[in-house]
Amino acid sequence: MRKDPSNSGSYAPVNLVIPTAGEILDDGTMIELVENPSQPHAFALLKFDGHEPEIRSQIEHDGRLYIPLLIPSTLRQALRLPSGCAPSGSTTELFTRLVSVFANFTDLAKQAQKSVVATLLASWIPELIPVSVTLFLWAPDPAAGARVLAVLSSLCRPALALSGAAARDFTALPGALPATLLLFRPVFNRRTRESLGALGWRGFWTLRRGRLVETIGAKAIASDAALPDDTTLGPTLVVHVATTGRALPSLDKKILESLAKEFLPHLLRYRLDRCTSPIGESDHAYPGSPRGSLVHALEACFRDEPALQEAVLPLIEAAQNGQDPGRADPRVPLLEALRARCHEKGRDRLYVGEIALDVNAQVLANGGKCELSSRMIGSLLRSLGLATRKLDRRGRGLMLDEATRLRIHRLAREHDVPSTREAFPDCEECAQAQPPAT
């Protein structure tokens, strides 16, 4: 028997003590892990049964005592949790406010901002989304990708930002913690991609240290290399992150904590309202929509506002297909410049600095404002399988031998570079790169 804290004169039977980081109980009652508002750096639990939420250091319910999950101190320092919940307003209002945050603090294009915010909202309702949600931020400038992840670390449920992680590191995470993984430049080999692709699927369990754990939650990855052309990562939204050159506001620890304090209570309320409201059949079933499983599944984020759903989902569909309508793929002007240089008589080498000048001139001529540094050009070349090397005292670059020229021509056609629609006269590589006649 245990004294019931809600009534000093009564006792309630407690048969089981359950450490938890969050539960949706059979009767619809929700328990969420939150910051203890009366005890800094300590956890508490929020209970919500459709009425006014209540926060306690422990929750008794139906003969069970729920206590905060014990989390190692080093991991505890990396997490930001809400200290309560507050009305979130309409989904459109919350969505618009979150988009404004990314517009202010990052270089993401407008369409990309909306895709990122959709992933953010999905991290708060993983129980309603049966597929694994993965956001891939392709950032040739690593600092730009890191900035997006930093903002997400203040807004996702609950975010765990890791740098250089590999497949073996995921097995060390607490299985009961519903963490949103934010991975900066992970060891992105096939094994890591396969491990990530297996995480986040509702209803599937992972064997970890002899125990079965269910790991559901969104994932965001920032890499300076393009996403490999395989399917091991599962359904993925691909967003290009490039620098515009505009001065961005400071984004230090104080600012990130301020964002968390402002938004996490509203996002928690968004979760409570979503997960306790009636769930439609589409929220239970694995989607089979021709629009794509991930796009169809993310409808749950906007199910109460069809107008917002119709405005956002086409952008997510384009991102899932590797298209970012708000900012051109930087590989296109790069390959355009490389292909043009291949047609210069007597040209046998090409320096990275020369390529950067060519690409930036082309971008500016087309009305763009984004200038690519030599370092970013090097990252883009590597992502295309064109490894640079030190040529001489002038620096690194490419030797334009026959194999490299042919690869550039074929890559240009694969990426639909405009100039490939016409073959250059007397160019053997142009002829070989043409698609076979039908």
First-last CA distance in the chain: 81
Question: If you ran DSSP here, which 8-state letter would residue 263 be given?
Answer: H
Distance CA(296)–CA(22), nearest Å, equals 26
Q: Which residue has the tokens 């992970």?
A: 186
> pTM of the entire structure?
0.76
Residues, the chain: 438
Q: What is the pLDDT of residue 345?
A: 85
∠ Cα 16 21 27 (to 5°): 60
Domains and CATH numbers, the chain: 2-70 (no CATH), 91-320 (3.40.50), 331-424 (1.10.10)
User: What are residue 169's DSSP bridge partners?
Assistant: none
User: Which regions of the chain are under pLDDT 70?
Assistant: 1-15, 229, 231, 277-292, 318-329, 366-371, 435-438
How many angstroms separate the Cα of 17 from the Cα of each of 36, 60, 175, 376, 404?
Answer: 19, 9, 18, 53, 65
Distance CA(63)–CA(153), nearest Å, equals 36
∠ Cα 119 125 130 (to 5°): 85
H helical segments located in 213-344 = 253-276, 281-284, 293-297, 306-320, 331-342
pLDDT tens for 147-165 read 999 999 999 999 999 999 9
pLDDT tens for 317-358 read 766 655 544 445 677 888 989 999 988 888 899 999 999 898
Distance CA(32)–CA(22), nearest Å, equals 4
Distance CA(6)–CA(13), nearest Å, equals 14
Q: What is the pLDDT of residue 21?
A: 92
Q: What is the pLDDT of residue 260?
A: 96
Q: Which residue has the tokens 């984020």?
A: 301
Structure token pair of residue 290? 């021709």
Q: What is the pLDDT of residue 326?
A: 41
Query: Which residue type occupies 22?
Result: G
Strand pairing report for 159-163 and 30-35: unpaired
Q: What is the pLDDT of residue 162?
A: 94
Q: What is the pLDDT of residue 370?
A: 59
Distance CA(361)–CA(371), nearest Å, equals 9
Secondary-structure breakdown of the chain: helix, strand, coil percentages, each rounded to the nearest 5: 40, 20, 40
Contact by Cβ (8 Å): 237, 136: yes
